[in-house]
Structure 1
């Protein structure tokens, strides 16, 4: 029941993400699908999987048939005549079940390779989402800077009026102008960073670098987080890959046991015999046909014993690697969850501080109406307000980026 509730909350959260992105010309889920279809890394892993699958046909064969032809330069004489030439054919056959074991082994390697595709797709979804949220945060910060520049222009107008009536100095005007220059510089730098991130985003989708990415206008943190089911992490493809690698070693050992068995060979020799001149008897010039059966026995089998030991050691290594990766994923999940909680706390604090900064701004405006205003206080409040707005945007971005990491780990 608890798992069902967790799943429902996850679905609600994903629906919420789609809802907040509506109205945007390029929704995130559409962009993700485009990336999955066009990303060259995904295509690379898919081709590797197809190549690994094709190897099943390669191993479904028996050893080459051996043919031999010999000509007697000095023809040996026999009772029935001189031997002229010899033709032979030989076919070795592996022990029963060896070919099937080879197919199972290669198929298990292909299954492990398939997990690379699943992992790459998950990572791509996370990368596209995180890049998208970086673009959103950058754009939102540029808009905040634009608003603050306009606000400083309003204050500059007030300062010029105050200078005319002798209630402010020209220095106040210059300070306001310098502050505007600083904010414009920050905005220009952000714009360049946006272009760099946009190039990264377009490369993830394998399209031209200068394609404009339109991000959502606003994002909000949902009122409630979806529940994290830590048990799902055990089913993560990064861990399932280790299970399939372990199984491939089991198949490798079965194949090793089969290959350590004897091989059976069947052959046929044909010797052409010429007739003896001036002689008349029933077998004169009769050709020789000789069927043969051979057995190849691996008497010196240290190779196979060593392979068995190597397989056992490799299975132990894979078990240790899986546990190491599980610990790393659990650490990453816990970190992402804590940082997401911290982002929610930070967002609430910045919202409260921002409201108080706006209240202080209103007080300053009312002070101007009474004939007194301290433009140093104006700059201080404006700087605080900008800081809170930037931190608020960063908190929203962090929340969604960490949610993306959580989804990568447990969905």
Structure 2
């Protein structure tokens, strides 16, 4: 890959990673999931109660006037930690969404860049072929003057030029559409001009592909993180099925009995309390355990399904990249032969025997080979982008 192209594409990718709203969306989701750790790091609300005796009950020490109570329930030991671990595991799984989105964005930006390159390269080829036909048109006009060609030959050459100009104009519009697509990926104004390299060369050799890296792909790691979150969910479920302990205090205000004198007259009542909440009917927790087991099985199946899909994509990208290299070699060979045929036609003109039908045929073949060559180069780099997404 050319150095200039690498630097330009790398710059575009950096801009996309910093500006793309989808990446920002996943980053915010991750921060929100992480913040939930603080939400679950709490205990149940403390209960306070105040009661006033409308009809004051009489006791030996006096009449009870009002009652104040406070109660605090506490979850079983380790329950809060289990909640924190569960929420943290969900945040870890959400983080993989960021990694996946960044990889996909890098691939999308790269593919859009190569589409722009191919478009620009095709426009350049068409410009060169139009100029070549203009040269042949000049030769044809000269031949018409000396009676060695007809005006029909000149018209055919002109019509062929018009067709190629039309193709170039269409490509120009397609370039603007693809440029808009790339600018949207970068989250910037649609009309900002994107510059691409003038030429891309077919690399002399392919970079090494380590298929074992596929097992570490974030799309697969996410399933591992989800599996771990279910494990934490089950640990939390076990903790929540344990009893809850409550501590409380009741205070009752007692009025003094009039016209009586003894040591406890009007003594207030203070009563500490301990309570236990036991989930006797625990069918809910047994059901949650079963659900967790089924969800883990589902995640395992989903991971295997995704691994099979990624392996298929990798194999297809490798084979198509090989095909692009083979096609490039064939088009290069054909293009050389087409240029040799073109030289023969030029020499034929010097002897006065040029056939302008052959000129159009050779020019059409030459344009076809040049276009196919560009497509082969683009295809090679696009497939390399897919491979990079899968194994790097």
TM interval, short-chain normalised: over 0.9
Any unmatched runs of 5+ in structure 1?
A: 1-19
The answer to whether the Cα contact below 8 Å between 1:108 and 1:245 also exists between their aligned partners in 2 is yes
The answer to whether the Cα contact below 8 Å between 2:2 and 2:201 also exists between their aligned partners in 1 is no
Give the aligned length.
Answer: 392
How many angstroms does 1:26 deviate by? 6.3
Residues 9-408 of structure 1 aligned to structure 2 (within 5 Å): 20-23=1-4, 27-408=8-389
Which segment is superposed worse, 258-267 or 70-79?
70-79
Which segment is superposed worse, 67-76 or 230-239?
67-76
Q: Aligned partners of 1:23 and 1:259: how far apart in 2?
A: 60
The answer to whether the Cα contact below 8 Å between 2:257 and 2:265 also exists between their aligned partners in 1 is yes
Deviations 1:30-79 (A, max 9, x none): 11111111111111111111111111111111111011111112222222
The answer to whether the Cα contact below 8 Å between 1:267 and 1:291 also exists between their aligned partners in 2 is yes
Deviations 1:157-185 (A, max 9, x none): 11111111111111111111111111111
- 1:27 is paired with a residue whose SS is helix
The answer to whether the Cα contact below 8 Å between 1:26 and 1:215 also exists between their aligned partners in 2 is no
TM-score calculated relative to the size of structure 2: 0.98
The answer to whether the Cα contact below 8 Å between 2:332 and 2:373 also exists between their aligned partners in 1 is yes
Q: Aligned partners of 1:337 and 1:178: how far apart in 2?
A: 42
**How much is the aligned-residue C-alpha RMSD, in angstroms?**
1.1
- 2:4 is paired with a residue whose SS is coil
Q: Aligned partners of 1:294 and 1:115: how far apart in 2?
A: 44
The answer to whether the Cα contact below 8 Å between 1:35 and 1:205 also exists between their aligned partners in 2 is yes
The answer to whether the Cα contact below 8 Å between 1:25 and 1:214 also exists between their aligned partners in 2 is no
How many angstroms does 1:234 deviate by? 0.3
Q: Aligned partners of 1:405 and 1:156: how far apart in 2?
A: 45
- 2:257 is paired with a residue whose SS is coil
How many angstroms does 1:22 deviate by? 3.3
Q: Aligned partners of 1:187 and 1:204: how far apart in 2?
A: 26
Any unmatched runs of 5+ in structure 2?
A: none
The answer to whether the Cα contact below 8 Å between 1:261 and 1:298 also exists between their aligned partners in 2 is yes
Q: Aligned partners of 2:87 and 2:313: how far apart in 1?
A: 33
Which segment is superposed worse, 361-370 or 275-284?
275-284
How many angstroms does 1:373 deviate by? 1.4
Q: Aligned partners of 1:230 and 1:174: how far apart in 2?
A: 57
How many angstroms does 1:21 deviate by? 3.6
Q: Aligned partners of 1:26 and 1:122: how far apart in 2?
A: 18
Large movers: runs of 4+ above 6 Å: none
The answer to whether the Cα contact below 8 Å between 1:32 and 1:128 also exists between their aligned partners in 2 is yes
How many angstroms does 1:24 deviate by? 5.7
How many angstroms does 1:285 deviate by? 1.3
How many angstroms does 1:227 deviate by? 2.1
Q: Aligned partners of 2:4 and 2:280: how far apart in 1?
A: 75
The answer to whether the Cα contact below 8 Å between 2:317 and 2:383 also exists between their aligned partners in 1 is yes
